Amino acid sequence: MPDPKPDTATDTAQQPDPLTRIEEMLAALLQSAIPKNTAATLEEFAELSPSAKAPLLRRLAPRMLACLLLAVALAAGVALLSPQQVTVALYKLALVTMAGYLGYWLDRWCFPYARPDSFLVAADWRAEPKQASDQANHPVAQGCEQIYAAAMLRRGLIMLGTMLALGLGL
At 27-76, the pLDDT tens digits run 665 566 555 544 445 455 445 444 555 566 666 677 778 888 998 999 99
pLDDT value of position 40: 46
**pLDDT at residue 113 greater than cutoff 80:** yes
Of 88, 85, 107, 98, the closest CA to residue 165 belongs to: 98
pLDDT value of position 119: 83
pLDDT digits (tens, 9 = 90+) for 64-101: 788 889 989 999 999 999 999 999 989 998 999 999 99
- Averaged over 4-29, what is the pLDDT? 62
pLDDT value of position 48: 46
DSSP H helices, 4-129, are 8-14, 18-33, 38-48, 50-53, 56-60, 65-81, 85-110
pLDDT value of position 45: 46
Of 121, 112, 151, 130, the closest CA to residue 46 belongs to: 130
* Residue 115 contacts residue 140 (beta carbons within 8 Å): no
* Residue 167 contacts residue 91 (beta carbons within 8 Å): no
Residue 135 exposed, middle or buried by CB count within 10 Å (0-12, 13-18, 19+): exposed
Greatest mean pLDDT among 18-27, 29-38, 135-144: 135-144
- Averaged over 15-29, what is the pLDDT? 67
Stretch among 2-16, 56-70, 146-160 having the lowest mean pLDDT: 2-16
Give dist(CA 157, CA 103) in Å, integer. 9
* Residue 74 contacts residue 140 (beta carbons within 8 Å): no
